[in-house]
Amino acid sequence: MGRLTAIEGQNGGEVTLSGHPVAVAPGNSGTLACSEHVAHQGHGLDWQFGGHTAFYSAFQYEAA
């Protein structure tokens, strides 16, 4: 589970990053954000945190 809030840029728009060499979804711009709450429990992991830099991006699945 995760909750992210986009960082507000100029004129209230989103701050985006494109062409990053380690992009989550190559070919799509990432939106800079702040994590409000992120949690994962399973496979021996129990994580809960927030207030960290984050980014998210649109993506699409494609058959090879």
| Residue 29, pLDDT score | 87
| Residue 43, pLDDT score | 92
What band does 7 get if pLDDT is binned at 50, 70 and 90?
very high
Print the domain residue range for 50: 2-13+26-57
What is the rounded distance in angstroms from the CA atom of residue 8 to the CA atom of residue 12?
Answer: 5
Q: DSSP letter string over 1-64?
A: -EEEEEPB-GGGPBPEE-S-TT-SSTTS-EEEEEEEEEEEEETTEEEEE-S-EEEEE-------
Domain for residue 9, yes or no?
yes
What is the number of structural domains in the chain? 1
The predicted-structure confidence for 9-22, as pLDDT tens digits, reads as follows 999 999 998 888 77
The predicted-structure confidence for 9-60, as pLDDT tens digits, reads as follows 999 999 998 888 777 787 888 899 998 888 889 999 898 888 888 888 888 7
Domain for residue 18, yes or no?
no
What is the rounded distance in angstroms from the CA atom of residue 26 to the CA atom of residue 12?
Answer: 25
Domain for residue 63, yes or no?
no
Domain for residue 64, yes or no?
no
Domain for residue 21, yes or no?
no
